[in-house]
Chains A and B, each alone.
Chain A
Amino acid sequence: MFGELIRQKSFGVSVAIFIMLLLAPSFLPRFYIYLMAVIFVTALLAMSLNLCVGHGMLFQFHHGVFYGVGAYTAGLLLVKTSLPWWIALIAGPLAAAFAGLLIGMFCIRLNRLYFGMLQISLGSLIWAIAFRWYDLTGGDDGIHGIPVPDFIASTTGSYFFVLIVTVICLLLMFLILKSPFGSTLQAIRDNPERCAAVGINVRHHQLITIVIATFFGGVAGILFVVVEGSIFPDLLFWTLSLEIFIMCLLGGWFTFAGPILGAAIIVSLRTFVGTYTEYWTLILGVILILLIFFLPEGIMGTNYRQLFRSRVKYNGEYQTE
């Protein structure tokens, strides 16, 4: 099962990065440790979205909702019930996947843009519930100071927890994409009509993809609760969904790790440029315009292509695997 992983060319680099990240808290200031935890959470969220967008060509425009559902479920269970903390953290992703199944069942009947539009509408309903139901969710104030167990309450503790959960999720996503399920999903992305003609139930396959993606979105949601200790309706607002969509495009939506890079760039930009000006989204807009003109397949997608082209010249033929 893990053989596939070890054969990857980038395996060594990934392990080296992982070890450096494990050591990071011993030499980086606390603020940067916190910032990196936020990047991991956002990267996991963007990666889960990219299962739909990049690998399945499903325009999941309002993926942030499932992040919010995961966070709210975990947060509310931690605050309002006396259930053990780990039940709350497991319930978050499950609730997100269930919401994904419900919304997906309606959206999957539509194609491409219409899928996305219906997704925004149904997702906004869930946002409205979180925003309006004061008694349960605290309305637009949200809930702050959510109690998490001691070992993940400190900045370093939450950093390690987020790092390890994120890495496990990324491994799972990688294995899923290399499995027959993932292979078939990419075939559906390329040509759904042909897939139906070889006996694949396209809608069914896409729905399972949405459930998997929303589950991982929910995992990102509970990690947010661990890092920030709070929940608020902005987690489910459509602007966040748009932001993670941009991360996928920026990093390279047909690549595996592209969204991680996209998330790192945008979160850093928001943090550092955001301290100088509240109009940091202006810079984001400029980046987006440049992206569309010069790197339509994202940073990592473009680099791979160039490497690919030079290799073609060298071998005199296409090599893809």
Chain B
Amino acid sequence: MLRIKNLHKAFDDFKAVDGAHLSVDKGQLVAVIGPNGAGKTTLFNLICGQLQPDKGQILLADEDIGKLPPHVICRKGIARSFQIANIFPRLSVFRNVQVSVLSQQKLSNKLFHPAAQLAVDETNHILDSVGLLDKKRDLAGSLSHGDKRILEIAIAMGNEPELLILDEPTAGMSPEETTTTMALIQRLAADQGLTILFCEHDMEVVFGVAQSIMVMQQGKTIVQDDPLTVRQNIEVQQAYLGDE
């Protein structure tokens, strides 16, 4: 589904991504791991169009999407969440998700029809599936940190993506919240046949959930393989990966 070949991105002299390779098949749960500053977030920003690569290819079903702007990439079926909770704080939880559902239904430019009556069922369905339905009238900025992160995933779900990219979905969460969130992600993947690409610090989480793991260090892909093989590889490369 998604193939990344020899991707490069530098900020001035700093090579953030310096030869990344990645392959994501349909229906897979793929994790990207690596120490801080390995280039995971930059890689996701490159895939989703927030950044443009200097060199290399990002192929989505054989089409190079490397130079496209974010909103076009989104319409091709890639939705994402961000590492820092990236929501609409002045809008209600309901409207946060409705914005992306309206965008998906190509209704964002509709004038003179009350938004309150549009995409209501779809939005409620998504809120229900992530467990935020009872908080739908709350101001998004007033949610707890964990709920904000889940709201982020809900916003991404509004785009009915084929590929969902999650940048550290459990960052800053308590252990219980982490467990719930990962269960939610697995359930979404199973129920909706989603393909999910995520990066994560918590190795327990990664090895428990992912079907394929890509290891990055200093912008380079070291290996991508199934968890068992990577785990053996990791022991060899303890020095690279530090205390994980």
Interface positions of A (Cβ within 8 A of B): 1, 3-4, 172, 175-176, 178-184, 186-187, 189-191, 193-202, 205, 208, 254, 317-321
Contacts and interface: CB of A to CB of B under 8 A. Distances in A.
13 contacts: A179-B115, A181-B108, A183-B91, A183-B102, A184-B99, A184-B108, A189-B90, A196-B49, A197-B82, A197-B156, A200-B108, A318-B142, A319-B137
B137 A180 contact: no
A172 B113 CA distance: 11
A175 B112 contact: yes
B88 A321 contact: no
A207 B82 CA distance: 26
B50 A197 contact: yes
B159 interface: yes
B204 to A, nearest CB: 29
B158 interface: yes
Contacts of A198: 74, 79, 99-100, 103-104, 155-156, 158-159
B87 A191 contact: yes
B70 A178 contact: no
Contacts of A189: 90
Chain A binding site: helix, strand, loop or mixed by DSSP? helix
Give the interface centre of A176, A197, A205 by most chain B CB atoms within 10 Å.
A197
A200 B50 contact: no
A183 B115 contact: yes
Contact of B108 (A172, A178, A180, A318): A180
Given A175-B114, A179-B111, 7 more contacts: A4-B114, A178-B116, A191-B89, A197-B80, A198-B79, A317-B138, A319-B137
B173 interface: no
Nearest to B105: A180
Nearest to B118: A180
Interface in B74-92: 74-75, 79-80, 82, 86-92
B238 interface: no
Interface of B: 48-50, 69-71, 74-75, 79-80, 82, 86-92, 94-96, 98-100, 102-104, 107-116, 118, 137-139, 142, 155-156, 158-159
B110 A180 contact: yes
Contacts of A181: 108-111
A163 B71 CA distance: 41
A179 B99 contact: no
A175 B110 CA distance: 11
Contact of A200 (B49, B94, B103): B103
A176 B86 contact: no
A212 to B, nearest CB: 8
Give the interface centre of B69, B102, B108 by most chain A CB atoms within 10 Å.
B108
B108 A205 contact: yes
Nearest to B119: A180
Give the interface centre of B86, B98, B111 by most chain A CB atoms within 10 Å.
B111
